[in-house]
Structure 1
Amino acid sequence: MWWYASILLLLCVIPPVVMAQQEPLNIPDALPSQTVPNSQEVRTLLLWTDTMYDTMHGDYNTIHKMVFWCTDDILLYSIEIFVGGTIEHIIEKDSIRQNGQILEHDGYSGEGDIRLELVQGDAINLGSSPVVLSKPGSLMIPMQVSADSEVQIIATITYAGGPNAECHLDSFNPGVVGAPFPLGQTLNEFGSIMLKSTEIGVDDFNGYLSDIGEDWQMDLAIRDTLRLDISDIVDELDQLGASLYLGPPDGARLNELGRHNDDIVAISCCATLDSLSLEDNIFRTAPSDAYLGASLAHLMLHNDIQVILPVWVDDVWNNEYLKTIVGAFEEDGGIADEGIVQQGDQKLGELAPQIEQRIALLSERYGAGSVAVVMLPFFHIDFMQAMSEYPQANTVRWFGTDFLARDHSIIQDDKSKSLASNTGFTTLQLNGMGVQMEDVRQRLEMHTGKVATHDMLAAYESAWILGLAMQYAQSTDPQRLSEVIPYVAERYSGTLGVMRMDTNGDLVGVPLDVWSVHDGDWTRVGIME
């Protein structure tokens, strides 16, 4: 198998335990990511002069944020600004921001028309010339004016850039961020817990904005997707000027969101459907099912599992997830049984005798040590309780999806705990390597009363990544943020470490924790990295 040659190190071996009947797992390397080498490009810089226009309200209590940005890296030599018809005007000292960070400069105020030269002007000198303005970045100039009516801004900028460089003048108004989540008791309050984790992330990000002197905050517009259709939510929030979304956390509604309006940006913590892997403005802080499924197949094959018996619920998410597991497992020489599926009003627990019989047949043919059950159920506790009564089910390994990683309900019930311990029940979950992980994990657990999972950390991080992208670009424009979000995610390390995204907005090359139940408790037995 192609990856065996790359396995350099056994990262971790599970110590023998009393309850577990399975041999210790060997932990392979993670799946390699495909990279395209960067080619060195010889660039010719040209000197450009562009004139741009914007409008400004004459309300002296309102700060108008002029934002300059370019489609390529440039060297900015000067900005000349003229605003006619003003009575008074002011630019506060040290209020101009480059890529969201404060630049030191003198203040500027006066009466009458505004005639101002920046960068190396007499009134405002930004300290160095030229100013390097990178492609995803921004230069924001906040100005207050008093006027009898709306006034026009005329800005002329001189810069050096490549032949395709274009610079633009926009304004920045944070507005509201949509937060569509399924609230209530569905799936053990999954949506409510993810929303709470998101809100804690927003609160922490807003605290950061206050600490660095920003005058805006991220404001969530929360809507319940169990009571309202996504299309109605999007139409309503569009009237409020919302073009940015945190959520939904589930794949079906996220897909519907993108199909209803493609002129938005959304970051989802937990939607892993592989069908969402498209070149659009949807980003995910969780690995896709394709990556997780292939990694789980990789782990099983590396531990000499020859045959898998899938048991699953017939729905879109489980069918797609299982397809990725089976495809990767068979591609590298494994055998996938046709499996046993729960359909209609059936419960998987009712199929326990049939599952037990199939395990016995496969164990007799291939040996119990070469057989594993891969389960994707609803009501997994009921299912595991039923299967714990069957002896053959307790002699083979069991594997589950990331959705069940560190699920404490499994080890709080005696029967499901017994099955999980006897079979070394194993799941994968995104590895958290950020410096703030433990602090944030503790606070999430305190506020939700739940063990902090990757999904909760990813919901928390989604708020930070979107907020930092808004701050860096000084923008809410979906097209601009679709370029800035991957740039920020790869440079920000909060709880989960840096996040590298591909052109589809999916995480790539991420390390995965391997969690197994041993001696009645969840244990991290290694890292696939």
Structure 2
Amino acid sequence: MSNTGQAKNPLFKNTLVILIVGLLIGAILGYGASTLLQHPQAQTTTQQTITVPIGALVELTGDLSSYGKRDQLAMQLAIEDVNSFAEKIGSPFRFTLLVEDSGTSPEQALARIKTLAAQGVQAVIGLEASSEVSAVKQFADSNHLVVISVGSTAMSLALPGDYVLRVVPPDSFQSRALARIIYTLGYRNVAVIYRNDAWGVGLYESFSARFKQLGGNVAGVSYDPNAKDLSAEVKRLSDIASAMGANTAVLSITFEDDGINIFRLAVKDPVLSKLKWFGTDAVVQSSKFTAEAGGEIVTLGGLPSTIFQPTENQRLQDFIQRFKQRSGGEEPHAYAMVSYDAVWLVALSVMLTGTYTGEKLVTTIPLVAQKYNGVTGLLTLDQNGDKATGDYAIWQVVKTSTGYDWQLVGWYNSATDTATFSG
């Protein structure tokens, strides 16, 4: 029975005794309490189950579409597992995924989160881009709607006390990783081309500060992410790199479509085409990159790129194999992995408290994250609601017998600030 239109109508009142065995949380969590599930869109069926809608706001189109599609699949796998788990332990809760396309657009992300809120969603998972998170933040805070970002890393969003949680480390970690990797490989000058948005500017500034601290030199060119012609910016980048002289590398802080545009221009440039290029988490394992610009990227040195990577464990390997079976062989990137875990954080919080409201979720999820041992390991959040730490994998594009593909070529350890490379 739908209760649309009845604000905060109590739909379930009963004694719950839920014993959650460490199937995926690595511990036993038990409690018994009389609880209320208070939300107008939760639905009670004749079997006395309660359906809870979780929002998936993902990039099905636009500059990050190959990422958003994998995030959606990972979340759907989690929904299946959560519901199976809930049935086995006798929980009345069942979860469903309501999917909206953000279009990798701040404006569309804001419109679609309002659509999800109108359908009773109190927790939204997805939003790879920091610009999208920035666009929805005020609405989420004002309406007490929890946003769990699986890919936003801009340091400007590392804020305490809001309704935005991020299950990946902020760019204070990635900037250190990139600086150490490039410096370790012998480069002392870096020319950077970066998106003029919250994520691009923040990562550029943080990387620049750290690389200069190590003793290097950095100069950059920003560009409008919506611009179609980037030839002038690429020419300025070429002039900067030329002036820097020997031991110069290039760092590209881009998304998929804009990155491809830049690489196609760079391989025609007499200076940039001879330099080693590096990338970031926004492009790692991009199928668009390998399909549409694999040759150009290999010409530019393969684009070694960093992305947060969970520690290897059997649960993670099992998830990867299952994901590949469902995706037709495509591998999940790290942000798809945390998308899976994010669904569990929401579901476990609801099952433990018996409440599906943003106000309850925003305080409960960080507590659950301290104990939940998911496919990506522990997801402990810091005081800003961001993943507290993380190491980084280094991937680059290589030519194979069947075309171009991403290959794992190294690791960065954040605790020791060291980079190691295979081969």
TM-score surpassing 0.5? yes
* Contact 1:384–1:415 (8 Å) recurs in 2: no
More helix by share: 2
The counterpart of 2:74, out of the listed 188, 194, 197, is: 197
1:371 is matched by which residue type in structure 2? T
1:485 is matched by which residue type in structure 2? I
How many angstroms apart in 2 are the aligned matches of 1:353 and 1:255? 31
How many angstroms apart in 2 are the aligned matches of 1:253 and 1:338? 24
Per-residue CA deviations over 1:391-411 (Å, capped at 9, x if unaligned) read: 543543321111111334444
The counterpart of 2:305, out of the listed 406, 427, 434, is: 427
Tell me if 1:277 matches 2:158: yes
* Contact 2:193–2:220 (8 Å) recurs in 1: no
* Contact 1:272–1:288 (8 Å) recurs in 2: yes
Shift of 1:277: 0.8
Any idea what SS the aligned residue of 2:90 has?
A: coil
Unpaired runs of 5+ residues, structure 1, are: 1-55, 67-94, 103-133, 144-171
Corresponding residue number in structure 1 for 2:209: 327
How many angstroms apart in 2 are the aligned matches of 1:505 and 1:484? 12
Corresponding residue number in structure 2 for 1:252: 131
Corresponding residue number in structure 2 for 1:453: 333
Per-residue CA deviations over 1:168-209 (Å, capped at 9, x if unaligned) read: xxxx96632233334445544543442232222222222222
Corresponding residue number in structure 2 for 1:336: 218
Structure 1 residues 386 and 505: CA distance shift in structure 2, 3 A = same
1:301 is matched by which residue type in structure 2? Y
* Contact 2:298–2:398 (8 Å) recurs in 1: no
* Contact 1:388–1:418 (8 Å) recurs in 2: no
Tell me if 1:96 matches 2:45: no
Structure 1 residues 522 and 65: CA distance shift in structure 2, 3 A = same
How many angstroms apart in 1 are the aligned matches of 2:373 and 2:231? 43
Q: Give RMSD over aligned pairs.
A: 3.5
The counterpart of 1:218, out of the listed 87, 92, 95, is: 95
The counterpart of 1:290, out of the listed 172, 175, 200, is: 172
The counterpart of 2:187, out of the listed 305, 308, 332, is: 305
How many angstroms apart in 2 are the aligned matches of 1:311 and 1:345? 14
Shift of 1:308: 0.8
Per-residue CA deviations over 1:315-345 (Å, capped at 9, x if unaligned) read: 3432232222222222343211244646874
Deviates more, 1:277-286 or 1:339-348: 339-348
How many angstroms apart in 1 are the aligned matches of 2:377 and 2:218? 35
Any idea what SS the aligned residue of 1:526 has?
A: strand
Normalised by the length of structure 1, the TM-score is 0.62
Q: How does 1:36-435 map to 2 (within 5 A)?
A: 64-66=13-15, 96-97=17-18, 100=20, 138-141=31-34, 175-184=52-61, 187-225=64-102, 237-238=116-117, 240-262=119-141, 263-279=144-160, 280-339=162-221, 341=223, 345=227, 347-349=229-231, 352-363=234-245, 367=246, 370-377=247-254, 378-390=257-269, 392-412=271-291, 413=293, 415-420=295-300, 423-433=301-311, 434-435=313-314
Structure 1 residues 253 and 394: CA distance shift in structure 2, 3 A = closer
* Contact 1:371–1:396 (8 Å) recurs in 2: yes
Shift of 1:141: 4.4
Kindly, what percent of the aligned residue pairs are identical?
Answer: 19
Unpaired runs of 5+ residues, structure 2, are: 1-8, 23-27, 37-48, 414-423
* Contact 1:372–1:397 (8 Å) recurs in 2: yes
Shift of 1:475: 2.7
Corresponding residue number in structure 1 for 2:407: 523
Per-residue CA deviations over 1:234-276 (Å, capped at 9, x if unaligned) read: 5555555432222334323323333114222221211222221
Shift of 1:63: 5.7
Bigger Rg, which one? 1
Structure 1 residues 310 and 302: CA distance shift in structure 2, 3 A = same
* Contact 1:384–1:419 (8 Å) recurs in 2: no
* Contact 2:13–2:35 (8 Å) recurs in 1: yes
Per-residue CA deviations over 1:56-99 (Å, capped at 9, x if unaligned) read: 98xxxx86235xxxxxxxxxxxxxxxxxxxxxxxxxxxx6236x
Any idea what SS the aligned residue of 1:221 has?
A: strand
Normalised by the length of structure 2, the TM-score is 0.75
Corresponding residue number in structure 2 for 1:24: none
Per-residue CA deviations over 1:112-133 (Å, capped at 9, x if unaligned) read: xxxxxxxxxxxxxxxxxxxxxx
Any idea what SS the aligned residue of 2:375 has?
A: coil
* Contact 2:17–2:31 (8 Å) recurs in 1: no
How many angstroms apart in 1 are the aligned matches of 2:14 and 2:158? 35
* Contact 2:188–2:217 (8 Å) recurs in 1: yes
Corresponding residue number in structure 1 for 2:46: none
The counterpart of 2:382, out of the listed 502, 508, 528, is: 502
2:286 is matched by which residue type in structure 1? D
Stretches (4+) displaced over 6 A: none
* Contact 2:194–2:220 (8 Å) recurs in 1: no
Per-residue CA deviations over 1:474-528 (Å, capped at 9, x if unaligned) read: 3324344333322322333332222221011111221111223456653323322
Per-residue CA deviations over 1:432-485 (Å, capped at 9, x if unaligned) read: 324322232233334345432112212222112221222233332434433332
Q: How does 1:452-491 map to 2 (within 5 A)?
A: 452-491=332-371
Any idea what SS the aligned residue of 2:379 has?
A: coil
